[in-house]
Amino acid sequence: MNIKKRTKPLILQKYEVLRTRLKSDFPRVHHIEREYGKYLKGYMGEVNVDYFLQFLEPISTILQDICLKVGGKSVQLDNIIISQHAIYIVEVKNYSGTIIFDTTLNQFTRDDGKNETGFSHPIAQAKLQQLKLQNWLQHNGYTNIPIYYLIAISEPTTRIKVIGDTESIAKVVAHGERIPHIILDIEKKLENPNKILHQKIGHLMLRKNIDFDRDIMQEHRIKRQDLMNGVKCTNCERLGMQRTPRSWVCPKCGHKDRHAHYLAIREYLLLFPWITNPECKNFLQVDSRHMVNKALKNVNLTYEPAHKRWLRK
């Protein structure tokens, strides 16, 4: 059973808002576009692999996109599959062209037809995740559960090439569609008289899951004044809906929406942790303090009187 389905990651949602709100003369626009493209591609790859992993649902507990805290550090995992015999970490990687594992030199490179580029080794990354997950399980009273890691290549056209020990790589790296078969083969070989209570561990992970987040505004040095103000049309997504006494109207497509300002407030609070009344007035481009106050009260926020600001919960 899948008890935590993948949703669009918070960071990807942030980039989507940024792309529509960032002023065009912002100096690092191209860098942001590149990062957005990377996140989007990664997410699409994960969704591709989800299709194949769902065939394991009858025999396991599956959690997608999980982030756990271990000893003050966090471990983020694309997929966790818990069966009666073992836990499988499935990390999804998105590479185009040919990927080359050199087991003698312990190197990992990608050849896109033009250049050969070195990347951080996906197996080394997965091993570290395995270790962190093992620590987390121990910390929560579970010992001696075998943990396997697998690397799913999301793009079916990616060529996987091995220099050296092909067998050792083939055991852990495969295209998404082969991953369920690899897991089922391992399952057949495992004989564990004490069956793992996979639902119980799965629900514990779900309870301890934290939302993986990063302050991309700080990373890209984006200030509030770098964003365009205004209410976005809930139909054509253009900025600049106009306030009428009872509603919002889009001058471009004529769409009317009484609640259009809530989308703008949500977007703002996705990027920033708090908002003040004057900031909100400015962002929505309205004059009415009263209207802004009412709107902020209707959103699930906490008011901090000392700073006269509304905080994300």
Residues making contact with Zn ion (CB under 5 A): 233, 235-236, 250, 252-253, 255
What angle do helix axes 289-298 and 277-284 make, rounded to 10 degrees?
A: 100
Q: 44 or 236: whose CB is closer to Zn ion? A: 236
Q: 252 or 289: whose CB is closer to Zn ion? A: 252
User: What's the DSSP call for residue 163?
Assistant: E
Q: 17 or 201: whose CB is closer to Zn ion? A: 17
Shortest CB 145 distance to Zn ion, Å: 53
Shortest CB 216 distance to Zn ion, Å: 27
**Cα–Cα distance measured from residue 251 to residue 233, given in angstroms and rounded to the nearest whole number:** 9
Expressed in percent and rounded to 5, the helix, strand and coil fractions of the chain are 40, 25, 35
Shortest CB 285 distance to Zn ion, Å: 16
Shortest CB 240 distance to Zn ion, Å: 9
Q: 164 or 251: whose CB is closer to Zn ion? A: 251
Q: 173 or 250: whose CB is closer to Zn ion? A: 250
Cα three-residue angle 3-154-47, rounded to 5 degrees: 35
Helix (H) or strand (E) holding 153: strand 147-153
Shortest CB 253 distance to Zn ion, Å: 3
CB 88 within 8 A of CB 61: no
Q: 212 or 262: whose CB is closer to Zn ion? A: 262
User: Nearest CA to 255 among 273, 268, 242?
Assistant: 242
Shortest CB 229 distance to Zn ion, Å: 17
Contacts of 1 (CB under 8 A, 6+ apart): 57, 60, 61, 62, 199
CB 311 within 8 A of CB 301: yes
In order of 57, 82, 262, the CA distances from 54 in angstroms are 5, 13, 35
